[in-house]
Structure 1
Amino acid sequence: MTILIGLTGWGDHTTLYTDADKKKNKLATYSSHFPVVEIDSSFYAIQSQENYDKWISETPDHFQFVIKAHQSMTGHDRITRTIQEAKQLFQSFLESIEPVSKASKLHAILFQFPPWFDVRVAHIQKLQKIKQLLPNQPIAIEFRNQTWFEAAHRQATLDLIKKNDWIHTICDEPQAGEGSVPTVLEITNPTTALIRMHGKNVHGWNRNGRGGEDWRNVRYLYQYNAKELTEWATYIRQLEKMTQTVTVLFNNNSGGDASNNAKELIQLLHISYDNLNPRQLDLFE
């Protein structure tokens, strides 16, 4: 069994980098600390194969990427597309990430749906279309609408994800109304569990779209304390018994807390990673 702990992105985690690192390749430094990372830039633009080739070359052999699906694939852009347009879109995305797949570094494609993506026939049909368009890919599903996990729908939601061999994304996030989901400690895939740690900032969670981009500086502003991380360490050990790999990604970085919290959790779980990139300081030890 394997536990992979990392962060959502590698660019803004200032506690990881010296001034010299900031002028060099941050991903190479990042991958001397953690074995997995989430690529967020793919949500905003389908990345070039050249970008992926670069990221592959900068990381060690067993490093893993969780790649976010483009916002047009999750419906964030609210544009209705024909079947042919959808096929072309999904094909373009698949072609872009092909180098990651070939390098055996694709951990999952993360579909993070918008807060208005609730339980209704049209949205269930959209999920089924995603299965048709990406039949053999490691797909992780993350909802941001609590209707999927209301008592009347919870089991059906988990059954649907399991039926499609998808990974149910377990979330730790503020309970801030309909646009948030509870922590559901359920496994739907025999090989992979994915946990995303968003923090518990209730005040900042629902500020999306208000005040320009300032909401980003508030939404994920949270530092997990020792008690919370110890509780999650217990959950992870339980989940570890039910699947081959448990992957944990910290997203609470508005205040720069994600990397420290991730390292604290690694220590709590007594994990030591082999096959990371060498750290510069190790040369002098």
Structure 2
Amino acid sequence: MPKEPAAKTAKTTKAAGTTNIHIGIGGWTYAPWRGTFYPSDLTQSRELEYASRNLTSIEINGTFYGLQKPASYEKWYQETPDDFVFSLKAPRYATNRKVLADAGETIERFFGSGVLLLKQKLGPINWQFAPTKKFDSEEFEAFLKLLPASIEGQKLRHAIEVRNDTFKTPEFVALARKYKVAVVLAGDSDYPQIADITAPFVYARIMGTTDKQAKGYSTKALDAWAERARQLAAGTTPSDLETFAQAPAKAAARDVYLYVISGFKERNPAAAMALIKRL
């Protein structure tokens, strides 16, 4: 018989008394996690069930490559705790195109594919752009106008992950704030790190895990990211992160979604759980 999932469900952590910090990984199906993160005798069909009781969020990557079936969203909803949250990577067909203003049909098809079946477990949508995509104010504003604030009464949250240094400008930050989309904070990577707070929530992806550390990161690095998460949840930007525009005049508590992504992937669950423990 397969081992039962952990009896204690990882709880979404609170900061500043009013905001949530969600911490997780990208996806949940990865063979090297079997026998390390997942018990060796756990059946593959129960991996999401197990992961969702040891983490507080997961970023679904499969949606970047193709539409998922409504039945899949329903299944994911049923298998996870009530306070669990999924973030979704938006389809690449919407962002990897020459004319972003033409992405409307792709965006509409994505939201009509069953995404809303996640109900209250639907977190932010991550619109990831290729490193070759450069900042053009008019073009990006046309794209941001296509992102729905809500559908069928369900509010939506959007994050934009840009990977070209041309976005490191106050003009881009101002544009993101205008449409209340979060600029993905890329940590410990070669991608541009833009830590400006631009939305009522923060979306961070940290990518520095290594095989030299049992938990992916050193104790010092884990402590640092836990403290950054606390500060971001309180509405302030940590002084050791790079920003490109003036901070908002008034700090406000906000939700934080932090994912341990890439790096030495085998260690990512351990790093995420170590952060949850610190918070």
TM score, norm. by length of structure 2: 0.76
| One of 45, 55, 60 as aligned partner of 1:24 | 45
More helix by share: 1
Kindly report which structure 2 residues correspond to 1:128-207, keeping only aligned pairs within 5 A, or say none.
128-136=142-150, 137-149=156-168, 153=169, 155-175=170-190, 180-182=191-193, 184-190=194-200, 192-199=201-208
Change (3 A) 1:100 1:62: farther
**Which residue does the alignment assign to 1:100?**
117
CA distance in 1 between counterparts of 2:268 and 2:43 reads: 18
Kindly report which structure 2 residues correspond to 1:193-272, keeping only aligned pairs within 5 A, or say none.
193-199=202-208, 223-242=216-235, 243-252=253-262, 254-269=264-279
CA distance in 2 between counterparts of 1:31 and 1:82 reads: 36
The alignment of Structure 1 onto Structure 2 pairs a total of residues equal to 233
Name the SS for the 1:238 alignment partner.
helix
User: Which stretches in structure 2 are left out of the alignment for 5+ residues?
Assistant: 1-18, 151-155, 236-252
| One of 48, 59, 66 as aligned partner of 1:45 | 66
Aligned residues: percent identity? 27
Structure 1 stretches of 4+ moved >3 Å: 78-83, 97-101, 252-255
Contact 1:250 1:262 in 2 (8 A): yes
1:112 and 2:128 aligned:
yes
CA deviation after TM superposition for structure 1 residue 186, in Å: 2.3
CA distance in 2 between counterparts of 1:133 and 1:261 reads: 32
CA deviation after TM superposition for structure 1 residue 6, in Å: 0.7
CA deviation after TM superposition for structure 1 residue 185, in Å: 2.9
CA distance in 2 between counterparts of 1:145 and 1:10 reads: 28
Change (3 A) 1:98 1:263: closer
CA deviation after TM superposition for structure 1 residue 258, in Å: 0.3
**Which residue does the alignment assign to 1:275?**
none
Contact 2:100 2:143 in 1 (8 A): no
CA distance in 1 between counterparts of 2:262 and 2:207 reads: 5
Contact 2:131 2:163 in 1 (8 A): yes
CA distance in 2 between counterparts of 1:116 and 1:61 reads: 39
User: Which stretches in structure 1 are left out of the alignment for 5+ residues?
Assistant: 202-217, 270-285
